[in-house]
Amino acid sequence: MVPVVRSHAVRYLYPESRLLIFAKAPIPGRSKTRLAGKLGARGAARLHARLTRQTVTTALRAQLAPLQLWCAPSSTHGFFAACRRDYPLTLHRQHGIDLGRRMHHALTRALRGSGSAVLIGSDCPALTPAVLKNAFAALRDGADVVLVPALDGGYVLIGVRRSAARLFQAVRWGSERVLAQTRRRLRQLNLTCVELPALADVDTPADLLRMKRSGWML
């Protein structure tokens, strides 16, 4: 079982920053659809819910910054209400017609009154508190952007000290070109970037098998 963190008395290392998690509501047929053939629509949705809770727990264990859960399609789903009850976090609705616009919107909002913001997905059980600490430290030390690449050619974490809209435009989201296109845009914008070691996320049956072989427990 994924632990429930009921205490809201959390002391953060970077209280002026924000840590964001993007998550979809665990609706059968709408979440982790590429795993439905292996797990069934309900099984895929249940896995997504467990991955999201594990991600929240990992983020809270790191004790780095106030936690925001950015929800799709809205923040009113019962799963998100349960997360708000069980964990010290705030709920926010994702806005935008594609992933890039949703990320830019969330980061821009989070940076209002904040020095930096780190955004992660909810499907990377290999993400640890140590990785999150290294990401925040890179921003503290002056990097404009920090990335944790995904093995499939995307990324599982992006952190910024300011959110440039162009960084998220004209990117083929969901393709193996995401990281390469983001690197190119960083060069065009003359933004300094620290890349941490790549991690595997869980999108396909092959990812699920690799996760189990590596001993990741859900």
More confident residue, 204 or 49: 49
218 found inside a domain: no
9 found inside a domain: no
Average pLDDT, the chain: 93
DSSP secondary structure code for residue 212 in this structure: H
3 found inside a domain: no
Range of the domain at 74: 18-212
Question: For 9-18, what is the mean pLDDT?
Answer: 92
Q: In this predicted model, what pLDDT tens digit does every residue of 86-104 receive, in sequence order?
A: 999 999 999 999 999 999 9
Tell me the CA distances in angstroms from 103 to 28, 107, 116, 168, one per residue in order.
24, 6, 14, 8
Residue 163 has pLDDT above 80, yes or no: yes
Tell me the CA distances in angstroms from 206 to 34, 102, 121, 200, 210, one per residue in order.
10, 28, 19, 11, 6
Q: Hey, what amino acid is at 168? A: F
What predicted TM-score, i.e. pTM, was given to this entire model?
0.93
Question: For 27-39, what is the mean pLDDT?
Answer: 91
116 found inside a domain: yes
pLDDT value at residue 13: 97
5 found inside a domain: no
163 found inside a domain: yes
Q: Which of 70, 194, 55, 211 is nearest to 136 (CA)?
A: 194
Q: What is the CATH number of the domain that holds 80?
A: 3.90.550.10
* Domains contained in the chain, number: 1
Q: In this predicted model, what pLDDT tens digit does every residue of 60-78 receive, in sequence order?
A: 999 999 999 999 999 999 9
pLDDT value at residue 72: 97
Q: Hey, what amino acid is at 83? A: C
Question: For 194-205, what is the mean pLDDT?
Answer: 94
6 found inside a domain: no
| CA pair distance 126, 143, nearest whole angstrom | 23
pLDDT value at residue 209: 85
